[in-house]
Structure 1
């Protein structure tokens, strides 16, 4: 194994009193490429330093000539690193402690199913209070604390709905303690889970991050794209990893695998015998009076537990007296919920006032609360404090402990308690104070540690505090103030998304301003302008996270809102964003129509800047459609408005030029943007620029994979921080092209496979065909799987025939494949030749040469 001796290079340069810039100029490379050699970044972890291309060979020669270093000193042999030792045993990681049922009975058939290691994903689905969490906790207790052959990781979305926090903790557990950047965590976690160990991933309370089906939300659909992709990967197979999840809702995203790789357990009620046993364990006297109680609540586990706890504590275990509780009110559609609320009403009357008020206030905090928080509410006095007025934390803890023994609350962490959602629902009705008053107490506490009008926060702990402040402000009824915290304190998408890359957090925050998480039901108290801005930001976050369907819906809603406001500038922005999204999805005809409408509206609004942006996008879509002359005319029309192309509209110009073989023009176009993008802090746009420059480095007569790799590294500084899907896909594409140029076919396959899976899962139709063409190009190089890859690439290209450039490449590659397999190729190559001639494709000569051989 060879290694580039970068330490020697740095020492010799220093001894010669040269700057890095001077050394780079001496050997004829740009300074960023030189720095990559001097930093050792050219040494790959698995393969070391490999000379695969002429440009790297020339650079070694120049380094030796200009700096006086022999090549055998620069490139030295080393022993290959030994593989990391296998982990001897795994201890479970309970990121959240699942509440333990005081008494657990039955469910032996389901427990037996959970023990079956052949089941990849098991979803335990049931109404609230059926005992989903208790079942999983019992199974985990049965497994014990190990050590085990694989890891066991437990996360509760009841306790923490932050998906990015889940990925951070799970990645650290499964992939090791090394720090992994936020954007890389989903992929690193998948790789760690697929490594072979029999891991178990437990996700409790998934409904907290699923659509409820109310309004226009999709029932059971996961709101977060990264989590959706993880579960879809798990159901397809991640080594020996199993996933166990609980939810009130069916996992809609996985329904295609139900009954096969997905096992859905629809948990029903306890049997009469099991229910009677549970009541007995709570202290009821065994006898004929117990089975009617079980029947009356339909075997509902939580209802039985509450009945048993109440009768055992306050009725001396007398089942006859428990029968007197009226269990048939008609307050709700859910029969079992109606009965449980009746039991809880009887329970609440028997509790001491301070016990009742602790549960009522705890019920306002879905993730639970600690004694100091409850003490702050008590110190507020008045209706907010209720019977807790004057109680300090030390006196509140024993109350919580008693309520825990009664089964009314559960310990979510050593010093934090929570109430079951059904219990919380009833006790919230007993507050005796507006919920807003309780949240106001916590809002003021958080406000004391922050200045909301200061520049946007950077550190994640401050982001957490800002988010908590916003949520309590919103729940305190201060909707406008909460929106101000988002737009001013957190900086909206322009700071939170565009600069910090906190896409999941941003999406979660804006969702809170909509009833039932439905962008079509933004809170009326916001006013039209702010509703429109929030739903537009929601679309931007959704698009960045790879949820193009949600992004498209948000931009359509935004268009409706700005029309109502009479804002032509807002409408052209909305149409342009929608056109951009539909283009990524591969809907090019609709994207063109939308871009044309955006340009018309901008011209009507007398907004030349917006018109130039819309025309540039229109030109880019025309290029995708193969209408090259029309695209050039449209780009020229945009420039005629006095616009200096910048950011994306400049990138579109560059991509158009690069596709036509105008490499120098493309490079100059993009490089002219870099300083301005850096000054604005638009790291995501800079990453896009770097991927184009990487492709520029591979274009022309002398491809330079080293320089392309340097650009790829710079682009990945953004994706590792954010995971923005479009840029991740661009990086996969560039990496595959570099690997093919360097004939690293195994690495190319990995990059192509990862990119294709991501594109198809997220619905990025524009990229899916590109990766299938790359897969075919790789197959042609290695001489394996050619016929199958050709069929897939050609079918995908013909299914999306409006993407003319992709179709032309697919036809050419399929024709080349036919030549190698001895099947008729002339018709394919002739069609490719006609299309490439129409496109003025720089590779037209290669197609004509192949056609001459056919």
Structure 2
């Protein structure tokens, strides 16, 4: 049998001066798949390299075409090609650098440095020891307190305490105040921890988890997490992470990834992590400053006077660290530090509603009155624009003149810099990124100083919109793919919305950024897409999209939002989006939108395991399609309803609906064909399932439908397992996994976990099968995928029973509990497993009781 000539491929890539990532992209596969070919891992030690499978033949054709090689040269006899190397090939210089053990702190953003810092000794002592510990028990530490309590100052102090020298683990600092884009965080963190690797958006989470789990004591410092958390106003839990990828990363870090740890700051509780409190998570609530600490801080700001006067002044702030600093800065800078000259701010009247926020507002009011007009106007405009504002933006405002510029009119860049430097000395402004002239303010100050603007904030955003648009080509063109241009268009869209132009913002999303077809299906940039949708809606609620937009556009935004959310695994939120879409369709009388919305809603409810609800929704969708004599939609509805009936154990009714779908819409293709193939596979009708899926795979590949192609590979992989063609099954898994990593689509990730677990089980690797199924089960439970939770729980139980027949009772009963009451197939499998486990432990009567619960159609089919 021939072997794959991996050394020839390596030499060809080096001759072309390509990285592995670039080579993989050229061939059209994920980088892991490419690495298997270049390293020789595709060569079996005993059997060489088989090209019987069509996916391998296509891979050889692609490699030959892209690298200018002859196909015959890539397949040679054992005597001509070297076996897989026992030792790794010599590393390139960049690879050798990646193996270095020394790391230096990387500041993606500068943390605001407290000009004067007091107290927090016990917290700092714990955090310093924790940051240096080889493998701490608490992998996640969260500093939680209201804004201005000093969370960022503590985090900055901890990082500074690590020193500027090299360490055995990396330290990565990111502020969501300055950059709320989660995919930007993933890209930057991955480049740092891998020393230069790039990856598609959908691959970054997995790659980052891999490298963080590699062992070194890496530290992530994440400031301002409340920016990417829900405040509870959008129907989510208060403190729930808005981005599922970030939730999964932080959950895995809390459970344990190598020796990595993460320090976070937030105003909100960490709802997604609270289950690990005390066993992976430690939450530290920062207390107010003590009287002694407050007096010391006031003295550091240059205040003089008796201890009693300083204590009285401190008590008026409520011990709020930012309030004390602002009071100290004000008295020290404008009153010569003389407490006696301080005109009493009526702080006592602030003791209504949010006590500390009102007290701080009173301090800021006095401060604003004392600031020179130019400094106040610069600060107000900086606060309107948000974090990370460059000098160009401020200079553009100054040049605009009139009310927009205020007292900035005519200011030169040099004058702007001097003003910003003075505001920085006063503790009101800080440089947001080291080495770059990007300025920011404390989030707690922004709302107050924005109120001093003097013109409508929309006018400032409109000016910034014009400035950004001048740098971009907003005409119809191929939507961007690189991160920098995507970020630029996103910033333009955001300022367009804040300028009060939602229709123009929608046009940027749909045309310039390509909508879901580009961001979701091509780039797999689901996180960006979901965030863009949330910017359109008040409080991130799909039911609160701008009333000024036509209802059809609101419906389109709600539907796309559901697609992004569903792909990211937020099924409950996706349901809310689709319900909004259906309600709009009913209001406008758009029958096609109503049919589509009900069907997509039914599909999502099925994934959640809510089969009765799915059946009802799909029945409504099918009825409307039949009433309109829309055969194409009716065929899709009948097929999906057939799959739900299959899940419910109604096999005969399921067969009838699939036949009805064929009568309405002809031979099945795409999802219709996949739904029927899954039905046939479960019933043991493997040949028709295989033939239909192979034909479907060819059609979907020709049409470029990547998600459907991956689904076909997952089904073919399961068929290969049933036929004991395990090598073929592994090949299908590689191709299915390529899409799941590229898109980060949770449904496909779960299919890959299921296929990988089944392959390992068939190979007798039961511990590996259990681990793979457990990972999938954890993901399914976290995201609410009821059907996959049922399947994967059964796989866990099967793996445990295979290793320990008498010790699998708990796992089998847990699988039975996970199946719920509606999934007939999952329940049947769980009942059978539980009965076997009970029989193995001598509990024969209880086992017989469970067997009697099996429903006849399912029992006959299984």
Match of 2:755 in 1: 734
Match of 2:578 in 1: 555
Query: For the residues of structure 2 that align with 1:266 and 1:419, how far apart are their CA atoms?
Result: 23
Query: For the residues of structure 2 that align with 1:354 and 1:692, how far apart are their CA atoms?
Result: 67
For 1:413-465, what per-residue CA distance to the aligned partner results, in whole angstroms no more than 9, with x for missing partners? 13111011222111111112211111111211222222243343333222112
Match of 1:278 in 2: 297
- Given the alignment of the two structures, is residue 767 of structure 1 paired with residue 788 of structure 2, yes or no? yes
Match of 1:337 in 2: 357
Quickly say closer, same or farther: Cα 1:47–1:223, change in 2 above 3 A: same
TM-aligned CA deviation for residue 105 of structure 1: 0.8
Match of 1:119 in 2: 138
CA contact (8 A) 2:41 2:84 kept: no
- Among 494, 501, 505, the residue aligned to 1:478: 501
TM-aligned CA deviation for residue 54 of structure 1: 13
Match of 2:430 in 1: 410
TM-aligned CA deviation for residue 644 of structure 1: 4.3
- Given the alignment of the two structures, is residue 185 of structure 1 paired with residue 184 of structure 2, yes or no? no
CA contact (8 A) 2:105 2:172 kept: yes
- Among 689, 713, 729, the residue aligned to 1:708: 729
Deviates more, 1:568-577 or 1:626-635: 568-577
TM-score normalised per structure 1:
0.88
- Given the alignment of the two structures, is residue 105 of structure 1 paired with residue 118 of structure 2, yes or no? yes
Match of 1:27 in 2: none
Match of 1:444 in 2: 466
Match of 1:538 in 2: 561
CA contact (8 A) 1:297 1:304 kept: yes
Match of 2:452 in 1: 430
For 1:96-120, what per-residue CA distance to the aligned partner results, in whole angstroms no more than 9, with x for missing partners? 1101011111111222332353433
Quickly say closer, same or farther: Cα 1:152–1:778, change in 2 above 3 A: same
Q: How does 1:564-583 map to 2 (within 5 A)?
A: 564-583=587-606
Q: How does 1:81-96 map to 2 (within 5 A)?
A: 81=88, 87-96=100-109
TM-aligned CA deviation for residue 506 of structure 1: 0.4
- Given the alignment of the two structures, is residue 649 of structure 1 paired with residue 672 of structure 2, yes or no? yes
Quickly say closer, same or farther: Cα 1:802–1:208, change in 2 above 3 A: same
For 1:554-613, what per-residue CA distance to the aligned partner results, in whole angstroms no more than 9, with x for missing partners? 222222232222333222222212211111112222222221122123333443322222
- Given the alignment of the two structures, is residue 638 of structure 1 paired with residue 661 of structure 2, yes or no? yes
- Given the alignment of the two structures, is residue 594 of structure 1 paired with residue 617 of structure 2, yes or no? yes
TM-score normalised per structure 2:
0.87
Quickly say closer, same or farther: Cα 1:106–1:70, change in 2 above 3 A: closer
The count of residues paired between Structure 1 and Structure 2 equals 810
Match of 2:86 in 1: 79
For 1:501-528, what per-residue CA distance to the aligned partner results, in whole angstroms no more than 9, with x for missing partners? 1100000000011111122222222232
Quickly say closer, same or farther: Cα 1:626–1:426, change in 2 above 3 A: same
Match of 1:805 in 2: 825
Query: For the residues of structure 2 that align with 1:786 and 1:80, how far apart are their CA atoms?
Result: 40
Match of 1:19 in 2: none
- Given the alignment of the two structures, is residue 214 of structure 1 paired with residue 233 of structure 2, yes or no? yes
Q: How does 1:646-795 map to 2 (within 5 A)?
A: 646-700=669-723, 703-745=724-766, 747-781=768-802, 784-795=803-814
CA contact (8 A) 1:816 1:825 kept: no
Structure 1, unmatched stretches of 5+, are 12-31, 845-854
Classify the secondary structure of the residue corresponding to 2:154.
helix
Quickly say closer, same or farther: Cα 1:826–1:311, change in 2 above 3 A: closer
Quickly say closer, same or farther: Cα 1:122–1:286, change in 2 above 3 A: farther
For 1:46-89, what per-residue CA distance to the aligned partner results, in whole angstroms no more than 9, with x for missing partners? 89734589989999xx99xxx99766767847424499996433
Quickly say closer, same or farther: Cα 1:527–1:181, change in 2 above 3 A: closer
Quickly say closer, same or farther: Cα 1:54–1:832, change in 2 above 3 A: farther
CA contact (8 A) 2:794 2:815 kept: no
RMSD over equivalenced CA pairs, Å: 3.4
Quickly say closer, same or farther: Cα 1:86–1:6, change in 2 above 3 A: closer
For 1:660-694, what per-residue CA distance to the aligned partner results, in whole angstroms no more than 9, with x for missing partners? 23323223322333454345433222211221122
Query: For the residues of structure 2 that align with 1:349 and 1:514, how far apart are their CA atoms?
Result: 35
Deviates more, 1:741-750 or 1:832-841: 832-841
Quickly say closer, same or farther: Cα 1:826–1:313, change in 2 above 3 A: closer
Query: For the residues of structure 2 that align with 1:343 and 1:433, how far apart are their CA atoms?
Result: 23
CA contact (8 A) 1:282 1:309 kept: yes
CA contact (8 A) 1:362 1:368 kept: no
Match of 2:68 in 1: none
TM-aligned CA deviation for residue 732 of structure 1: 1.7
- Among 815, 818, 840, the residue aligned to 1:796: 815
CA contact (8 A) 1:5 1:75 kept: no
Quickly say closer, same or farther: Cα 1:356–1:131, change in 2 above 3 A: same
TM-aligned CA deviation for residue 777 of structure 1: 3.5
CA contact (8 A) 1:163 1:227 kept: yes
- Among 347, 356, 362, the residue aligned to 1:327: 347
Query: For the residues of structure 1 that align with 2:496 and 2:673, how far apart are their CA atoms?
Result: 41
- Among 405, 420, 431, the residue aligned to 1:385: 405
- Among 421, 437, 455, the residue aligned to 1:401: 421
- Given the alignment of the two structures, is residue 167 of structure 1 paired with residue 186 of structure 2, yes or no? yes
